[in-house]
Amino acid sequence: MSYFNGEASHWLAASPADDVDPAPLPREKQDLVIVGGGLTGLWSAYYARQAHPDWAITIIEASHIGYGASGRNGGWLSTLLPGNRTKFAEAVDRARKNDPSGPVGSAGLGGVASVSAFRSALFDSIDEVLEVCKAESIDAHQVRGGHIDIAQTEAGLSRLRDLEAGNEQFGYGPEDMQFLDAEATRARINVDGALGSLYFPGTAAIDPALLTRGLGHVLREQGVTICEATSARHLRKNSVATDRGPVRADTIFVCLEGYSDTVGGDLPGLQGRQVIPVFSSMIATEPLSDEAWASIGWEGRECLGDTAHTFIYAQRTADGRIALGGRGAPYAFRSGLPGDGEVPAEVVDLLAGRLSSLFPDLEFEVAHAWRGALGVTRDWCAGIFFDPTQRIGVARGYAGHGVTATHLAAKTLLDRAAGASSPLTALPWNDHFSGQWEPEPIRWLGIRSMYKIFGLADAWESATGAKKTSLLARFGSRLAGLHE
């Protein structure tokens, strides 16, 4: 099998690239310096410019706009929460007891209501991202086809039923989520052996490179300075030290996600090892024939997920490919980074095999494989932090659900920096402390074991026709800190 491997992503390789622009570092003090040119950084600059047309704003980006997860992801602009809702709800209830006037207690909402408010803010973010694309003429091949999680095993089906019941408790109504039986599922996407699915109409599919590059283009036109090929090294109050010299700033946002460990400083939400890079890998096929599409369906370009513990995520691209991602070789010892995204051959085989198990009657040719780094905290919950003394803000830990959440994070960071008490600053991810990761080699062993256990649990449930989630998978979730 011959395919492109790495080059950051199929999306970046396929979309028209601007030359990398190491613009001169600004000499004058900036109102806002943003470190990291992914979606968190880009949305921060966008809304800062909307609110303050006169501000001097600079983005410092080590490589080029979208080089990180933002240009490599599966393109799910999804309704999914960046974290474990039970953990968020519990933390809110604890915080309200200890400090009722603190940021998350101030909205007067209990844990479950706070998480519902979080969910509804994320839904608003999807609307707003699509509105900005329209207003700024960004064609990111966006389509709001929803997302559909399809079960191919009885145990997976029971997890969908549990998810449905849990979602109802957290405020989902029939307009947000619908259960589809086997026939209705296969009428949407003809997945082999589909037993049923949950359909979430709110999600949209996008091309990540077109979105990030489109935003970068808009920002340059709006006078935001973007210094590509410039690495931040150390941050402190009013100053970002880079490999090209210092930049002075009134306020600094750190938007580095999986790369958070590449900068030094006493940074809120990053003291100790609070975030590590975990890899997710993807393949994109060559375009499928019209006959193949006729047999699959998938006409709504829904984002497609499954119910396996080693889950996959996929989309039908605008040019008729399938882009599909999942885990596999998820972690490099001592939190290594993904570089240009080359994927081990066995992981490509694994993903291609999973695609074939969804549509066994079809032949697929892999055109491109790549991987990128998610930022993952110990409890898999994202957090937003702002230190008013240093005037440094940090958003990180989306754990694979960041395409929508980056938008909300950026707006929240700006509210925090303005000292405003707003509905966004009361959402439960503000100052959410997730704990710290274990030292090596425990961390490496733990993450590797978790994925091995999930793989075994999937094989067990499929081979035995188990009706419920296996004990093994429950143990894996506990080990990972994913348990609800």
Ligand X SMILES: Cc1cc2nc3c(=O)[nH]c(=O)nc-3n(C[C@H](O)[C@H](O)[C@H](O)COP(=O)(O)OP(=O)(O)OC[C@H]3O[C@@H](n4cnc5c(N)ncnc54)[C@H](O)[C@@H]3O)c2cc1C
Residues that bind ligand X (CB under 6 A): 35-41, 60-63, 67-70, 72-76, 78, 231-232, 255-259, 262-263, 280, 282, 313, 325, 371-374, 398, 400-404, 406
Q: Could you tell me which residues come within 8 angstroms of residue 287 by beta carbon, excluding any fewer than 6 positions away?
A: 319, 320, 321
Q: How far apart are CA 149 and CA 240, in angstroms?
A: 43
In the complex, the smallest distance separating the C-beta of residue 200 from ligand X, rounded to whole angstroms, is 13
**Cβ distance to ligand X smaller for residue 247 or 255:** 255
Q: Could you tell me which residues come within 8 angstroms of residue 52 by beta carbon, excluding any fewer than 6 positions away?
A: 31
In the complex, the smallest distance separating the C-beta of residue 208 from ligand X, rounded to whole angstroms, is 7
In the complex, the smallest distance separating the C-beta of residue 44 from ligand X, rounded to whole angstroms, is 9
Q: How far apart are CA 336 and CA 265, in angstroms?
A: 20
DSSP state letter for 189: B
Q: Give the chain's largest Cα–Cα span.
A: 66
Residue of this chain nearest to ligand X (CB atom): 402
Cα 158 off chain centre by? 26
**Cβ distance to ligand X smaller for residue 111 or 375:** 375
**Cβ distance to ligand X smaller for residue 118 or 259:** 259
Q: How far apart are CA 29 and CA 222, in angstroms?
A: 18
**Cβ distance to ligand X smaller for residue 196 or 258:** 258
Cβ pair 387, 268 in contact under 8 A: yes
In the complex, the smallest distance separating the C-beta of residue 206 from ligand X, rounded to whole angstroms, is 9
In the complex, the smallest distance separating the C-beta of residue 236 from ligand X, rounded to whole angstroms, is 15
Cβ pair 457, 473 in contact under 8 A: yes
**Cβ distance to ligand X smaller for residue 194 or 374:** 374
Our CA dihedral for 36, 40, 43, 48, rounded to 10 degrees, sits at -70
In the complex, the smallest distance separating the C-beta of residue 451 from ligand X, rounded to whole angstroms, is 15
DSSP state letter for 297: B
Amino acid identity at 309: H
State the angle between helix axes of 111-135 and 208-221 in degrees (0 to 180), rounded to the nearest 10.
70
Q: How far apart are CA 227 and CA 265, in angstroms?
A: 21
In the complex, the smallest distance separating the C-beta of residue 74 from ligand X, rounded to whole angstroms, is 3
For Cα atoms 367, 138, 52, give the angle at the middle one, nearest 5 degrees: 135
**Cβ distance to ligand X smaller for residue 107 or 382:** 382
In the complex, the smallest distance separating the C-beta of residue 270 from ligand X, rounded to whole angstroms, is 12
Q: Is the dihedral of CA 86, 68, 323, 336 positive or negative?
A: negative
